Amino acid sequence: AVTPARATPDAMQARIAVFTRGAPAQPGKLELSLPEIVENGNSVPVTVRVASPMTDQEHVRRIAVFTEKNPHPDVLEMVMGPRAGRAQVSFRMRMADSQQISAVAELSDGSFWTATVDVVVALAACLE
């Protein structure tokens, strides 16, 4: 039996609101890199970079990635600090269908920054 996806555009926005504790996330400071056209959704490379000096005074606290059509809207949440040295994370994910992927970063000053990429998937994954 196939379980329906619990992630929807509304569910993704709700999870982002939980992550930001209702604060607005502004575009900028964050770069979300992944192919805009994916032949096979079984292994999609993703990189998130945040423009931050990663000092004690100014650093990234958390990075999260969300999806709107996978079985779960939460893909990744990573906690960082100034000792991370670089505000960057790379990983591979499965994608169930063509969809929007969003990344959000929380900085030490309490601000939230976001980036979104629309991805077209030719061969879907994550169908369970």
- Whether 115 and 102 have beta carbons less than 8 Å apart is answered as yes
Q: Which helix (H) or strand (E) holds 9?
A: helix 9-19
Q: How confident is the model at residue 2 (pLDDT cuts 50, 70, 90)?
A: very low
- Whether 113 and 26 have beta carbons less than 8 Å apart is answered as yes
Amino acid identity of residue 47, one-letter, is T
Task: Pick the closest to residue 66 from 128, 127, 124, 117 (CA basis).
Answer: 117
Task: Pick the closest to residue 124 from 45, 38, 47 (CA basis).
Answer: 38
Query: What digits encode the pLDDT tens for the residues 67-101?
Result: 998 888 999 999 999 999 999 999 999 998 899 99
